[in-house]
């Protein structure tokens, strides 16, 4: 099972369906999912500072994280 599938199973459905009780639950799931994404993006952002390092592995990780942010439209 992929990490994505595990997270989806743990958090639950997030797309509303138009039924109040179900959508209330899904809204709570959506809040949990966005909180997780915020924390993950913060972790990735912390790696970007490594892009100016001299060590190959640290520089590579920083550049990869920076390219990912650029790809999804997050520019510093």
The yes-or-no verdict on residue 1 having pLDDT over 90 is: no
The yes-or-no verdict on residue 74 having pLDDT over 80 is: yes
Q: Tell me, what's the pLDDT at 17? A: 98
Q: Tell me, what's the pLDDT at 52? A: 96
Q: Provide the H-helix boundaries in the chain.
A: 3-11, 20-48, 56-71
Q: pLDDT tens digits, residue range 8-62?
A: 999 999 999 999 999 999 999 999 999 999 999 999 999 999 999 999 999 999 9
CB 37 within 8 A of CB 54: no
Structure-token pair, residue 52 = 């100016």
Record the pTM. 0.87
How would residue 75 be classed by pLDDT, with cut points 50, 70 and 90? confident
Residue 59, burial from CB neighbour count under 10 angstroms (0-12, 13-18, 19+): middle
Residue whose entry in the numeric block shows the structure tokens 């592995």: 57
């Amino acid at each position: 099972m992929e990490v994505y599938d595990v997270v989806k199973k743990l958090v639950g459905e997030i797309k509303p369906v138009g039924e109040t009780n179900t959508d209330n639950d899904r809204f709570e799931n959506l809040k949990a999912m966005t909180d997780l994404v915020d924390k993950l993006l913060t972790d990735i952002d912390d790696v970007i500072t490594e892009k100016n390092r001299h060590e190959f592995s640290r520089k590579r990780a920083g550049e990869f994280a920076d390219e990912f942010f650029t790809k999804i439209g997050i520019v510093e």
